[in-house]
Chain A
Amino acid sequence: MALTGKNKDRVQRGGMVLGVALVLGWCLLPVVWIISLSFKSQAAVTNGSPGFFPSSGGGAGWDNYRDLLFDDQYAQFRRSILNSIGISLIATILSVAIATLAAYAIARLDFKGKKFVLTTALVIAMFPVVSLVGPLFDMWRTIGLYDTWPGLIIPYMSFTLPLAIWTLSAFFREIPWEMEQAAQVDGATQWQAFRKVIVPLAAPGVFTAAILTFFFAWNDFVFGISLTSTEAARPIPASLSFFVGNDPFNRPASLLAAGAVVATVPIVILVLFFQRKIVAGLTAGAVKG
């Protein structure tokens, strides 16, 4: 039996809803499960409590979070939140600032070694992180950067710069050159034209680069665990791995889950905040299109 147009429409829409639901479920299930775990008591997890909602008496309410954030035993973790935020933010700001200038130069100026800069950046981006950890460990200990904020900020910056430069130079290339020339004719210096016209237009690119950089720094584990030894600079991912609790053979799964949720919240807030800034088509109307 052939489907009539209206029915076909309905089937198509139904299929779309189903597809979206599947993808959402696939992506969000782990997150939801972690949240569910974080609200169960330690005992309930150990005994095996497979339900999504805690079984009766197995719920911990906000206890896990309260322990994590206020109990003296976990002061290290609280310090690591501060470390993570500080290190990631500084690395992001520096990386994006440098990348913006570099990308602008690459997109606009003709200079010797432009190709070299771009390929080098790409090579660095492809370099396996793990292979650098050993040498860095030795170097940082000698220089005295081991277990400090700059000791992590520098590798984060160098590994995120290439991506940021490539993303941003693509954005800068999209901006019509006339914009800048118009600004110069209107009386702007090159710096003013860059700051007042080009940067605002490249804002979606800048924020995209910023988010990518922040993700990298926030999620990094390899550098975090190898280049730190105390809470002086240890970021959240590394800190979570030191969650052993009282019994080393019985790790506090629900506390870990709560820690993971705490580590995720800033990222979610950040994305929600920057999402508004990443508006495609900001240059619409600049020139006759």
Chain B
Amino acid sequence: MATIEMKNIVKKYGDGFPAVNDVSIDVADGEFLILVGPSGCGKSTLLRMIVGLEDISGGDMVIGGKRVNDLAPRDRNLSMVFQNYALYPHLSVYENIAFPLRLQKRPEKEIDEKVREASKTLDLDEHLERKPANLSGGQRQRVAMGRAIVRQADAFLFDEPLSNLDAKLRGQMRTEIARLQKKLGITTVYVTHDQTEAMTLGDRVAVMKRGILQQLATPRELYEQPANLFVAGFIGSPPMNFLPATVENGQVTLPFGTFPLPAPKAKATEGKGLLMAGIRPEHFEDVSVIGDDSVDAARTFEATIDVREWLGDQQYAYVPYEAEPQVQDQLRELAREADGDSLRTQLVVSLDAASTGEDGEHTRLFIDTDRMHLFDPSSGENLTVGL
């Protein structure tokens, strides 16, 4: 049990490139913190600095009130689950789990008790005598976790533990990890690039990009109040729509028309020239589904839906629009940063499953400008946080 405090952590490699740049995060005792970001954002490097496998170029790493910058991994009393499990192939499952205890030279009886307890928790009882080579991916994953939980570590560190599993198993193991962490109540830092894992597992999520911490917040806050364009585009699937916008006289002008904007948002953004509006797919709706009378007509527009994807419980519709080249470039840049790829400027809207219509038909859509965010296009900063 311990807190983990990262103070202005910097990691510079030989060529001077900062893989992690001035990151400060406090992880409370028992908290489940997620480090998320596109590949190469420094999240794994940061985790490896916590555990001591990577030297820290600058800043302080404080675990349980003790500065550990210069301590070897074995002196930090943390346990880690590696992306590729890193099981010891020459040892049986039992010995793999017992390995940390054997190193501590615990009495045989205690080792046996603890290993059995861990194997029971992880449902590994029938595999104890087998070698890792004969186990399935999910079983290996559980052995790796067994090795982590068997000793009284101050914190768990996970480095993309589920990325090697297939989709179904990943879902199961995700729940398993969440349950285990709640049960043991141990401080946990979990690295992932999967935003589902990030949103469902974490008490708090730290979003990183190119070694810089973008936002540290609860999953809900990240989703509803993203601090900048990157976080807004990275969190959520399908991603948030970004549209060129200008705000004047309490009205926002988008490529589809001009809509009234709530006063606080309008006040914060008025007269700032071309902005980037961000609005999530689910904040659109088909007017015919809601019923005409309950809709504010000023906040509806005619759209040409070129493709509909009906998923049963909802459907995604795609509305192409024309944008100036300058805006297009910026959208493409955003998509690239978030590990995605945008081929065309289009609006993705999530409609009620009951909405019907032929592809290419005109449909009247409602846009919930209350939930719209407006970003400064040059700095990427969200101008409407909390408004």
Contact = CB atoms under 8 A, between A and B. Distances in A.
Given A176-B86, A178-B86, A286-B86, A185 B51 contact: yes
Interface stretch (B115-123, B134-142, B183-191): B134-142
A183 B77 CA distance: 12
Contact of B86 (A187, A188, A192, A287): A287
Contact of B89 (A187, A196, A286, A288): A286
How large, as a class, is the contact surface on chain B? 20 to 34
A285 B91 CA distance: 11
B79 interface: yes
Interface string A169-207: 000000010110111111111001000110011010000
Interface in B108-138: 131-135, 137
Interface centre among A189, A283, A285 (most CB of B within 10 A): A285
Contacts of A187: 74, 77, 100, 103-104, 151
Interface residues of A, number: 25
A200 B92 CA distance: 13
A181 B74 contact: no
Nearest to B53: A181
Nearest to B163: A288
B134 A185 contact: no
A285 B86 CA distance: 9
Given A182-B88, A286-B87, 12 more contacts: A178-B84, A179-B86, A182-B82, A185-B73, A186-B79, A196-B99, A200-B90, A201-B89, A285-B135, A286-B88, A287-B85, A287-B86
B164 interface: yes
A176 B90 contact: no
A284 B73 contact: no
The 6 closest A-B pairs by CB, nearest first: A285-B133, A287-B84, A178-B86, A285-B132, A182-B86, A286-B89
Contact of A189 (B74, B88, B89, B99): B74
Interface centre among B73, B82, B85, B89 (most CB of A within 10 A): B89
A285 B53 contact: no
A244 interface: no
A282 interface: yes
B9 interface: no
A286 B164 CA distance: 13
Given A176-B84, A187-B74, A286 B99 contact: no
Interface in B145-204: 147, 151, 164
B78 A185 contact: yes
Nearest to A177: B86
Contacts of A179: 86, 88
B289 interface: no
